[in-house]
Chain A
Amino acid sequence: MKGVTTLLEFQDVKWQLPSGEPIIKGITCKLDSRLTVITGPNGGGKTSLAKLIAGVEKCTSGKILLDGTDITDMDITGRAKLGIAYAFQQPVRFKGLTVRDLLELSAGEKLGHNELCALLGKVGLCAEEYIDREMSGALSGGEAKRIEIATVLARNVKLSVFDEPEAGIDLWSFSRLVETFEEIRNGTTGSLVIISHQERILSIADEIIVVADGTIRTAGPREEVLPKLLGGEYACRCPQRNGGGCQ
């Protein structure tokens, strides 16, 4: 495998809601490929896991290590400075901050027109149209989502986490985005962790982790995990299809 890989390690990580309801019920694994896709049924704990990586939430118990450094107690800023970038599932809107402002904050420097064009091009947006627009509610869901992704690409760090990057994005922009993920994977630095249900993203993964009910159900190389992903399981939880009856 080419390029430098970042090692992210979970050691018996647990997380519960303030009410005490357990969401992540003990996850131990090592993410050491260039592109890991975390997938699994809705409500299984994938987004919670992404938030635990970024530091948006803190583990209730267990440890998280990044390239051997214990980041468990590190706050979100500290983790960002250490090289973790996180694309929110729901893009955050700002009244007043423009697309340029956000991309420059992400990059940590002023960006020239060509750099802005290149960044927005990776998510299928034209810089001319967007750089001076506010990242406010005036942008459509798909536009905001793509800008959110561009803020993570602008950071160019060692570990980028994307939470359902496909959500709300049109087919054409999505194709461009998949190419961008492949470019990063095939480049010299930067590992990706992508939470996704999308077959095209699963098909470019090095490793796939299936998270369900707060634990890892399966994990391994794509070639092993992908073919049996849906084997023996109905997506539908209707009791009638599962042999039961309606109450």
Chain B
Amino acid sequence: MSNIMDVNFNGTTAEMLKIISDYDEVSGFAGAYNIREDSKCAGRRSSENITIESKEDKPGINIRVNPFTVGETVFIPACVTHSDVDDLVYNDFYIGEGADVVVVAGCGVHNDGEEQARHNGIHRFFLEKGARVLYKEKHIGTGKGTGLRKIDPVTDCVLDEDSYLEMDTIQLRGVDRTTRSTSAVLGKGAKIVVRERIMTDGDEEAVTKFHVELNGEDSGADLVSRSVARGNSHQAFYSVVEGNNRCTGHSACDAILADNGKVDAQPALNAANVDAALIHEAAIGKIAGEQILKLCSLGLTREEAEEKIIEGFLK
């Protein structure tokens, strides 16, 4: 089954798509896709195994991946290209048993105006038994307007037995305000891995909230957030990992501060089972002096050393 719509989006979206979702102007997307531009659909294609359909009761789409679909990628980028847009979308992913797919869900907000431009994506993932998903999310803010660029993603996940979800998220400068909320409920043998990288600068603010419930026997979570707060920016990291069965949970928040950057970290571990093994690590501080010395001893200047350390840290 193929459901092809004409691709029709503006130049700003085209530029952002290249950054957030590896869009190729010639060959387009290699797989099923749905492009959202300023609250409208600017292109869609389903594939034989991945069906994308509009929701009937509210804005958004349902993405259904057939059981045992392996090696396919689905792209669902969203772009806001001017001010005075407040985009709200509900995207639900139903990943069939034994499927193994990649979801690329970038978001770009461009604002040259004085009013705010906002994208608020509410994602829900339902992974059936043994399903595996790599979810890649890249956020950018562009444009010279004074209006705020805001991205507030919500991701709620339900992981059935032995399923695996890996979230790889990155936001490097340009987004003035962001609140990212991620929750997951895990069944027996299910695993979630989150790799988050954030860099804020200027007066940007970023809030990250994780809530993971390890309900199934031998379920596991590994949450790693690395962030850099520069300028006068402010970041907050809140995580709650609940171990309600025999399980393993690890969360780590590493933050580098520069200039007048501020970072709050509030990690919580709630264990309700004697076999719940939960660990948290948090470290906030400026770049270690010895790291700078080591790179200077290789011939880098202090400034070059700092850039390399941050570049590697957020890689």
- Whether the Cβ atoms of B298 and A80 lie closer than 8 Å is yes
A139 at the interface (CB under 8 A from B): no
Chain B, 297-315, CB within 8 A of any chain A CB: 297-302, 308-309, 311-315
Q: How far is the CA of A54 from the CA of B296 in the complex (A)?
A: 10
- Measured CB to CB, the closest approach of chain B to A130, in angstroms, equals 16
Selected contact of B293 from candidates A56, A108, A151, CB within 8 Å: A56
Selected contact of A86 from candidates B288, B297, B315, CB within 8 Å: B297
- Whether the Cβ atoms of B291 and A81 lie closer than 8 Å is no
B53 at the interface (CB under 8 A from A): no
- Measured CB to CB, the closest approach of chain B to A228, in angstroms, equals 35
- Measured CB to CB, the closest approach of chain A to B100, in angstroms, equals 23
Interface size on A, residues (CB 8 A): 24
- Whether the Cβ atoms of B290 and A92 lie closer than 8 Å is yes
B295 at the interface (CB under 8 A from A): yes
- Whether the Cβ atoms of A76 and B297 lie closer than 8 Å is yes
- Whether the Cβ atoms of A97 and B298 lie closer than 8 Å is no
- Whether the Cβ atoms of A155 and B312 lie closer than 8 Å is no
Q: Inside 8 A of B298's CB, which chain A residues have their CB? A: 80, 85, 102, 105-106, 151, 155
- Whether the Cβ atoms of A94 and B299 lie closer than 8 Å is no
- Whether the Cβ atoms of A108 and B309 lie closer than 8 Å is no
- Whether the Cβ atoms of A96 and B296 lie closer than 8 Å is no
Known A77-B300, A95-B254: A88·B294 in contact at CB below 8 Å: yes
Q: Mark A152-187, 1 if CB is under 8 A from B, else 0.
A: 000100000000000000000000000000000000
- Whether the Cβ atoms of A77 and B301 lie closer than 8 Å is yes
- Whether the Cβ atoms of A76 and B314 lie closer than 8 Å is no
Known A86-B297, A105-B300, A106-B298: A96·B290 in contact at CB below 8 Å: no
A75 at the interface (CB under 8 A from B): yes
Chain A, 178-233, CB within 8 A of any chain B CB: none
- Whether the Cβ atoms of A77 and B296 lie closer than 8 Å is yes
B132 at the interface (CB under 8 A from A): no
Q: Mark A43-79, 1 if CB is under 8 A from B, else 0.
A: 0000000000011100000000000000000011100
- Whether the Cβ atoms of B296 and A75 lie closer than 8 Å is yes
Selected contact of B226 from candidates A54, A95, A105, CB within 8 Å: A95
Chain B, 151-170, CB within 8 A of any chain A CB: none
Known A81-B299, A106-B298: A96·B293 in contact at CB below 8 Å: no
- Measured CB to CB, the closest approach of chain B to A153, in angstroms, equals 12
Chain B, 258-281, CB within 8 A of any chain A CB: none
Q: How far is the CA of A121 from the CA of B254 in the complex (A)?
A: 33
A12 at the interface (CB under 8 A from B): no
Q: Inside 8 A of B296's CB, which chain A residues have their CB? A: 75-77, 80
- Measured CB to CB, the closest approach of chain A to B266, in angstroms, equals 21
- Whether the Cβ atoms of A77 and B299 lie closer than 8 Å is yes
A32 at the interface (CB under 8 A from B): no
- Whether the Cβ atoms of A95 and B299 lie closer than 8 Å is no
Chain B, 95-123, CB within 8 A of any chain A CB: none
* Closest A residue by C-beta to B304: A77
- Whether the Cβ atoms of A56 and B295 lie closer than 8 Å is no
Known A76-B293, A105-B295, A105-B308: A96·B226 in contact at CB below 8 Å: yes
Known A97-B309, A97-B312: A92·B294 in contact at CB below 8 Å: yes
- Measured CB to CB, the closest approach of chain B to A39, in angstroms, equals 23
Q: How far is the CA of A92 from the CA of B308 in the complex (A)?
A: 14
Q: Inside 8 A of B302's CB, which chain A residues have their CB? A: 77
Q: Inside 8 A of A81's CB, which chain B residues have their CB? A: 299
Selected contact of B312 from candidates A54, A55, A85, A94, CB within 8 Å: A94
Known A76-B297, A77-B299, A86-B297: A94·B315 in contact at CB below 8 Å: no
* Closest B residue by C-beta to A97: B312
Q: How far is the CA of A95 from the CA of B227 in the complex (A)?
A: 12
Selected contact of A96 from candidates B295, B297, B300, B313, CB within 8 Å: B313
* Closest B residue by C-beta to A134: B312
Q: How far is the CA of A106 from the CA of B300 in the complex (A)?
A: 9
Q: How far is the CA of A48 from the CA of B300 in the complex (A)?
A: 22
- Whether the Cβ atoms of B312 and A92 lie closer than 8 Å is no
- List 9 A–B pairs whose Cβ atoms lie within 8 Å, in order of A's numbering: A55-B297, A77-B299, A88-B290, A88-B297, A94-B291, A94-B309, A96-B226, A105-B308, A108-B299
Across the A-B interface, the 4 shortest Cβ-Cβ residue pairs: A96-B312, A97-B312, A96-B313, A80-B299
Given contacts A92-B288, A94-B309, 9 further A-B contacts (CB under 8 A): A76-B296, A77-B300, A80-B297, A80-B299, A95-B226, A95-B313, A96-B311, A102-B298, A106-B298
